[in-house]
Structure 1
């Protein structure tokens, strides 16, 4: 288990239920990939972070708590870590932007802390929070680096959670739209790429079914140490509210800002690829059921205006209904779809069980998942195979009318000491990145409309499950140093070289 604990986006969806074993790797170094010039003109390369994970300054300049502050201060992270200081980008943003420029990044994906900008989730703007994000954006723009901004990266103000249970309440839609309106108004002259939410298809499961991440709501026997919640309904209610919040903010942007500001708006979901453990009809059906619950849960409403029929049939009355207005508002509400992809999952059909406690998301899917043997049976330390990215993109292309796609997260974790010589010489991360970028190029050549790729993460930060026990950064951060000194890893040097070789001279265009 410890050998794969770093695969945050893949693992946290399944860590409470499924058996986890090591899977294999495949180094796809024969795909002809040489440099960024192999990619289409205007393709964007970047790296990412999120506010709570990297900013620090948790109690400075008026900022109030998010649900993550409450969660970490209760000691619920495995290493008892918090984001109180994290990588301290709040005080080091100029240094960090210079590092991005030196690396040759086209773009930086980061998130706003809603509770730094609007302290109680609604009401007046915090001028010091506004000033910080203006300074960061201006610094990026001064170096020619595109800001790609996420409005809610798995966090919301604690005040809204306390007031009305956050995204479980329809009041959230109005407050989120008002927050988005302020962001578009204040920053939209420079920010041309907006992401409403990050990974809501994992946020509502781990936060409101198993309860292992904030807001830590669940019910017996499905969750872990929760005092309040309903695992059988809340993931579906929360996802429904988030979808409607996204649609509302997107409609506002298009009606009020897009023509003048000429930007784009979308949403980002976790996008594992799914394969059956065997070619039996039941396991093949389990694969499609998992895809419907994992990807279709959000992509079907965004493209077709309703949840997949599979979900409707299984979840029944626990799955909220869209009005005709909702459906029309959702359809085509994205100028692009963000996909966070790390690896694949093998699934096996499980018999449907019935309980007096009802059924939660996992029971509804009725699959057993494995990070077990590689699809290609090649042993290695980490569970990745870059062809999973090609298969996932081909599925999205065919199933969802080939939408514009941005890979917003892709990366490989490591464990233990993060600043010693071994940690800085991260050759396996280089192999991983090269392999996945090569697979991405093959997908583009096969017709997928992919327009950007972001490494997770630009630098080491507070990871949302493991705290500081593992790291993804191109740059290492010495968390034992009060000044949080940064050190380039070999992967940072490799990415710099990749971006520099025969770099396209044309100006990077918008999506």
Structure 2
């Protein structure tokens, strides 16, 4: 087993505000789209009102991070905790909370890596102008980002803009897309996506202007697609699946314009977003410093021809609202060579090595993995332990893939598995657990919310202390 992790490698873990914090309306915080959607499922599973209650346990949780040896903690700020209605008055109590968290992390030798936006748009902006459908949302985001840079940028030097814009835009619930007509929904989606690109560029430029030594980049949902067969059409379909689900987004961030195949698609569907004079210059001026990527699974695709009933470019979204078949391009298929988690994600460490090599060879920017993990039910034993060897096996395989990618020449700077503690899963509540630390609660029973380190906690502690040699 090779041990090729660099000496200053950033071993960490990750979370997001609405999934971990709780305190959803405390101290002036406004409701978010994530809150609104979670409340719709309150009769079936846990919602965001308490989540993992990090809002009241942050000091205890950071002590556990220190015990585990984390070098970096990737977390998100809730826009609605800073500016409750999205573009109005600033909430000092929200700023105070994040200042406390940041200061405690630094006091324990842990670098904060902050995501500005992780699925939780202030719901007031939806009510005001349907959020990202309006260009005004991009400027509201820029103002929010500038507030964060001003308040925290003296201590926080590493920032992420949007978490998984390329995936988020495909989930109607997260974008507040309620249009039943598929063409109208896709037109709305394309305009929202474009405004998020503008917001990204504005936030990148503001970071470089306001944060001395600041580094910033996107956090994308990475995609690696294999062809179903070696037919040339299937090989092309697999590449197009990656292009349409991830790389169009990275190309837009890197080059400041849509790649040719994506503009062709927008024209085929007659959904080209409204763009204004000066936008291209803005988009091209925003230079990301690194690429953060989230990796959970790989995909498989075959060529899907268009016909009279299904014109070229038309998308049909799958039941999970994430994957789609696209006529004239690609159809998602099951890869029979891989095992899947209980919740359907195909487990494939080799795909991570492929993704890392692909992104580094294409963009030549430093990379950091900001999510990777196994979501599954965990059982607390009668004597109070959680034996999650299945999670250790999963992570160990991906660590090996990372080490090999570094040997391949990839400039990989850090690893933040999902997640630091058990947290709220959007559609499976607390049945689907990812954390190194067990939160003693169920969906409908808060119990005592005690924190119990799992076997994977102690395993990862050894990984970190040995800089990856013991894994």
With over 3 angstroms needed to count, the CA separation of the structure-2 counterparts of 1:435 and 1:58, relative to structure 1, is same
Residues 419 and 476 of structure 1 are in contact (CA less than 8 Å); yes or no, is this contact kept in structure 2?
A: no
> Aligned to 1:282, which of 233, 245, 250?
233
Q: Does 1:495 align with 2:457?
A: no
Residues 120 and 157 of structure 1 are in contact (CA less than 8 Å); yes or no, is this contact kept in structure 2?
A: yes
Match of 2:314 in 1: 359
Distance 2:233 2:277 in 1: 35
| Aligned partner of residue 108 in structure 1, secondary structure | strand
With over 3 angstroms needed to count, the CA separation of the structure-2 counterparts of 1:278 and 1:123, relative to structure 1, is same
> Aligned to 2:73, which of 83, 97, 108?
108
Of 463-472 and 183-192, deviating more is 463-472
With over 3 angstroms needed to count, the CA separation of the structure-2 counterparts of 1:302 and 1:321, relative to structure 1, is farther
| Aligned partner of residue 452 in structure 1, secondary structure | strand
Give the alignment of 1:234-253 within 5 angstroms: 234-253=188-207
Q: Does 1:294 align with 2:254?
A: no
Aligned-pair CA distance for 1:71: 1.3
Residues 79 and 466 of structure 1 are in contact (CA less than 8 Å); yes or no, is this contact kept in structure 2?
A: no
Distance 1:447 1:142 in 2: 34
Residues 315 and 364 of structure 1 are in contact (CA less than 8 Å); yes or no, is this contact kept in structure 2?
A: no
Give the alignment of 1:174-189 within 5 angstroms: 174-189=139-154
Aligned-pair CA distance for 1:346: 0.8
Give the alignment of 1:168-317 within 5 angstroms: 168-207=133-172, 213-220=173-180, 222=182, 230-255=184-209, 257-258=210-211, 261-316=212-267, 317=270
Give the alignment of 1:403-418 within 5 angstroms: 403-415=365-377, 417=379
| Aligned partner of residue 148 in structure 1, secondary structure | strand
Distance 2:156 2:21 in 1: 19
> Aligned to 1:343, which of 279, 288, 297?
297
With over 3 angstroms needed to count, the CA separation of the structure-2 counterparts of 1:390 and 1:319, relative to structure 1, is farther
Match of 2:61 in 1: 96
Aligned-pair CA distance for 1:202: 1.1
Match of 1:319 in 2: 272
With over 3 angstroms needed to count, the CA separation of the structure-2 counterparts of 1:427 and 1:503, relative to structure 1, is closer
Aligned-pair CA distance for 1:267: 1.1
**Bigger relative contact order (CA 8 A; separation at least 6):** 1
Distance 1:423 1:372 in 2: 35
Match of 1:59 in 2: 25
| Aligned partner of residue 417 in structure 2, secondary structure | strand
Structure 2 stretches lacking a partner, 5+ long: 317-323
| Aligned partner of residue 498 in structure 1, secondary structure | helix
Residues 7 and 467 of structure 2 are in contact (CA less than 8 Å); yes or no, is this contact kept in structure 1?
A: no
Distance 2:393 2:221 in 1: 22
What TM-score do the two structures reach when normalised by structure 1? 0.83
Aligned positions, number: 452
Residues 478 and 485 of structure 1 are in contact (CA less than 8 Å); yes or no, is this contact kept in structure 2?
A: yes
Match of 2:36 in 1: 70
| Aligned partner of residue 335 in structure 1, secondary structure | coil
> Aligned to 2:354, which of 386, 391, 399?
391
Residues 353 and 363 of structure 1 are in contact (CA less than 8 Å); yes or no, is this contact kept in structure 2?
A: no
Match of 2:124 in 1: 159
| Aligned partner of residue 150 in structure 1, secondary structure | strand
What TM-score do the two structures reach when normalised by structure 2? 0.90
Distance 2:64 2:277 in 1: 48
Q: Does 1:32 align with 2:2?
A: yes
Cα RMSD (Å) of the superposition?
2.5
With over 3 angstroms needed to count, the CA separation of the structure-2 counterparts of 1:324 and 1:279, relative to structure 1, is farther
Give the alignment of 1:114-129 within 5 angstroms: 114-129=79-94
With over 3 angstroms needed to count, the CA separation of the structure-2 counterparts of 1:380 and 1:102, relative to structure 1, is closer
Aligned-pair CA distance for 1:503: 8.3
Distance 1:412 1:175 in 2: 35
Distance 1:379 1:237 in 2: 35
Of 320-329 and 481-490, deviating more is 320-329
Residues 166 and 221 of structure 2 are in contact (CA less than 8 Å); yes or no, is this contact kept in structure 1?
A: yes
Aligned-pair CA distance for 1:501: 2.1
Match of 2:332 in 1: 369
With over 3 angstroms needed to count, the CA separation of the structure-2 counterparts of 1:352 and 1:218, relative to structure 1, is farther
With over 3 angstroms needed to count, the CA separation of the structure-2 counterparts of 1:502 and 1:314, relative to structure 1, is closer
Distance 1:162 1:243 in 2: 22
The superposition leaves residues 183-223 of structure 1 with CA deviations (integer Å, 9 ceiling, x where unpaired) of: 0000011111111110011111112xxxxx3344243365x
With over 3 angstroms needed to count, the CA separation of the structure-2 counterparts of 1:420 and 1:315, relative to structure 1, is farther
Structure 1 stretches lacking a partner, 5+ long: 1-30, 208-212, 223-228, 505-511
Distance 1:124 1:451 in 2: 37
The superposition leaves residues 321-365 of structure 1 with CA deviations (integer Å, 9 ceiling, x where unpaired) of: 766743343345211111001111111111224559993474546
Give the alignment of 1:437-476 within 5 angstroms: 437-476=399-438
